[in-house]
Structure 1
Amino acid sequence: MKNSLRLGALMLGTTLLLSGCATSVSAEPATDQGPATELRLGYFDNVTHAAALVGLQNGFFEDALGDTTLSTQIFSAGQSAVEALSAGAIDAAYIGPSPAVNTFVQSGGQSAVIVAGAASGGAALVVRDGIDTPADLAGTTIATPQLGNTQDVALRSWLGDEGYETSTIGGGDVTVSPGDNAQTLTLFQSGKIDGAWLPEPWVSRLVLEGGGHVLVNEADLWDNGDFPTTVLLVRKAFLEEHPDTVSALLQGHVTAVDWLTQNPADAAATINTKLKADTGKALTDDVLTRALTEVKFNVDPLASTFPVSLAEAVKAGLGKDGDLDGLFNVALLNAVLVKHAEEPVSAGGLGTE
């Protein structure tokens, strides 16, 4: 019964993913309606989403938004967040590159746009003792946060490069098992899975609490070790209707990222306070310390890497090839950066800057 339920869930997830989490979007541009009365923001309780955690904990978003009410929703993986955004249940989300690209391509560029980067690095494949090379992975079961999310795509792409076949409905040379990160830790500790490709702090938790070791640090697969882990995605219609509100959100976002880079000694405590408020439990000092050494916080979305992310998703059978022109709108971000006396970022030829 459990296998049947898992298979059904995976088939449903694949259907949603490959259909692009369709929603009705209009090709007609919306008009500026002034500041929104409410902004609904999605984020994850991950260290890679520290800009959201710090921005909320320190009140940076609320200060910047003024009279606009801020409401939040917590997600555990990207595809769930993009489904909520595509359905109009939220207006903006901190999210990984793959779901952001997927919704943009599937909607013909009408669903959402990336307005800023948030974090890079902080993702890895952690495995149990006895797995020391890629060749040792044959017949193993490796977890990811969710079918089609950024780490799921990265794992499947890397496995393909190593000569392994995988399937979106289970099976293959290596079984990829998407699931909740907390459950993944429990399964790893009990020996029921052999490893996982996850973002921080789950990488550090599997290493320090699960006795695992890093087989692949994703940073080693990218030039200069720079790859986006988290970006800030906004519904296209919301951006067109409420540019002033998005600009205010970006003001809070830039303030949060600047605070993280300028206050490393205080960052861990602030992140942990928000994590405890959200989940009821803080991370241990050693887990959080290790996790923060693996993540870089920067508002640059590293736009030039996104064609690579799309190609990897297509190769893994988890995305549709398409035009990325218009994926980025960093003009409002760059206006905020000018006020902060910081260098503008590039859209990589894929949008407005």
Structure 2
Amino acid sequence: MTNPQPGMTRIVAGESGKPKRRRGIEIALTAGLVLLISAGATVAAGVSRDSGNTAAAAEPDQAPAVELRLGYFGNITHGPALVGVSQGIIAKDLNGTKLSTQVFTAGPAAIEALNAGALDAAYIGPNPAINSFVQSKGESIRIIAGAAAGGAQLVVKPGITSAADLRGKTLSTPQLGGTQDVALRAWLQKEGHRASPDGSGDVAINPTDNAQTLKLFQDGKLDGAWLPEPWASRLVLQAGATVLVDERDLWDGSLTGKPGEFPTTVLIVNKTFAAEHPATVKALLRAHTESVDWLNNAPAAEKAAVLNAALKETAGAELKPDVIDRALRNIVFTVDPLAGTYRKLLQDGVDAGTTKPADLTGILDLTVLNSITGRHASAAGLGLD
């Protein structure tokens, strides 16, 4: 299949929730057409609503959307999406709204699709979500829930045992400006290394597709990579890498009250879509909550089997038992977006040169999530909760 743009695989699903692949050219045609439609809708929305309105402020009698276009990754850290789609949970809760899906390999590509009007919602890393919000001056997206915490590591060749050993080495991340890319660049800066987005510096960082990273590492062409699960576990167990940094160790809980937890995946929605289709957003959040609950309560063997089947469908291959077991031990599935970390994540992006200073107020709307769960996920002063 022709891949329409880096980081994205086109998958479309009907009301049954079972994905069907279509030719990549449809994305370009669809994105261009929808961009025109979306632009008109945004102008119309601007006439009737001020820019601060979100799903919580929309009229309650508006009809559900005819279609929800959802993006996610074929990664364990996107477990709620994998389960929600493959088990029909999202299709069930959408109750007649058609579900269409696209599978990506990195966050910036998913954001490009959402900004182009080809997606309505997406599971994504927090840094691409922050970048989109900043670049659009708050007009593009809202974060409406968390999905996963943890599950990211810097894995390296044996013999590299300290940050000092990385000078002159070549590392990779999934994509420039992605969550792991920003984490690596920020950490290197704190360790006294320069790693510029243009590739210059004391340490070279080559953003690379995860599957290619594994092969390059096996071939001895990479010295390490900062990766999400299951790719960190694959490099360790299948390519002999060692863990230099477990990102959990960099978060002491002072920003969230949850030591070792940091956001890896969040659920975002297009701001205009949320305002126009609050019932559909609520249905998506209900399904998301059910999927997270399933992941946290299912027996280990059943969880691994369901996730592996979904990975085979979306990424083309299952994981070996030791890989999926190690990956799941590194991840916490949670609807809490851990909003207390976002100012730091933004500053890390600024320090890394992948974003610019900004006010993040308004990036979160957790009102619907909290009404569904009966709990209080905090927006940490960055939006509604």
Counterpart for residue 194 of structure 1:
223
Map of 1:10-89 to 2, 5 A cutoff? 26=43, 28=46, 29=49, 32=59, 33-89=62-118
Map of 1:193-342 to 2, 5 A cutoff? 193-223=222-252, 224-265=259-300, 266-338=302-374
Counterpart for residue 169 of structure 1:
198
CA RMSD, Structure 1 to Structure 2 (Å)? 1.3
Q: Does 1:344 align with 2:376?
A: yes
Q: C-alpha distance in 2, partners of 1:67/1:58? A: 16
Unmatched segments (≥5 aa) in structure 1: 1-22
Percent of aligned pairs sharing the same letter: 56
Unmatched segments (≥5 aa) in structure 2: 1-37, 253-258
Q: Structure 2 counterpart of 1:175, which letter?
A: A
Deviation at residue 107 of structure 1 after TM alignment: 0.8
Q: Structure 1 counterpart of 2:120, which letter?
A: D
Deviation at residue 168 of structure 1 after TM alignment: 1.1
Q: Structure 1 counterpart of 2:355, which letter?
A: G
Q: C-alpha distance in 2, partners of 1:325/1:186? A: 41
Deviation at residue 171 of structure 1 after TM alignment: 2.4
Map of 1:121-140 to 2, 5 A cutoff? 121-140=150-169
Q: Structure 2 counterpart of 1:259, which letter?
A: W
Q: Alignment partner of 1:225: what SS?
A: coil
Deviation at residue 328 of structure 1 after TM alignment: 0.3
Structure 1 residues 173-201: Cα deviation after superposition (integer angstroms, max 9, x where no partner): 00001010000000001100100000000
Structure 1 residues 39-68: Cα deviation after superposition (integer angstroms, max 9, x where no partner): 000000000000000111111101100010
Deviation at residue 170 of structure 1 after TM alignment: 1.4
Q: Structure 1 counterpart of 2:244, which letter?
A: L
Structure 1 residues 257-316: Cα deviation after superposition (integer angstroms, max 9, x where no partner): 000001142211100011111233101111000000000000000001000000000011
Q: C-alpha distance in 1, partners of 2:174/2:164? A: 23
Structure 1 residues 26-49: Cα deviation after superposition (integer angstroms, max 9, x where no partner): 582386542000000000000000
Q: C-alpha distance in 2, partners of 1:278/1:308? A: 32
TM-score normalized by the length of structure 2: 0.83
Q: C-alpha distance in 1, partners of 2:299/2:262? A: 21
Q: C-alpha distance in 2, partners of 1:96/1:264? A: 27
Q: C-alpha distance in 1, partners of 2:118/2:263? A: 25
Q: Structure 2 counterpart of 1:131, which letter?
A: I
Q: Alignment partner of 2:269: what SS?
A: strand
Deviation at residue 335 of structure 1 after TM alignment: 1.2
- More deviation, 259-268/191-200: 259-268
Deviation at residue 125 of structure 1 after TM alignment: 0.1
Deviation at residue 235 of structure 1 after TM alignment: 0.2
Counterpart for residue 11 of structure 1:
none
Deviation at residue 317 of structure 1 after TM alignment: 0.5
Q: C-alpha distance in 1, partners of 2:202/2:192? A: 9
Q: C-alpha distance in 1, partners of 2:340/2:299? A: 28
- More deviation, 243-252/256-265: 256-265
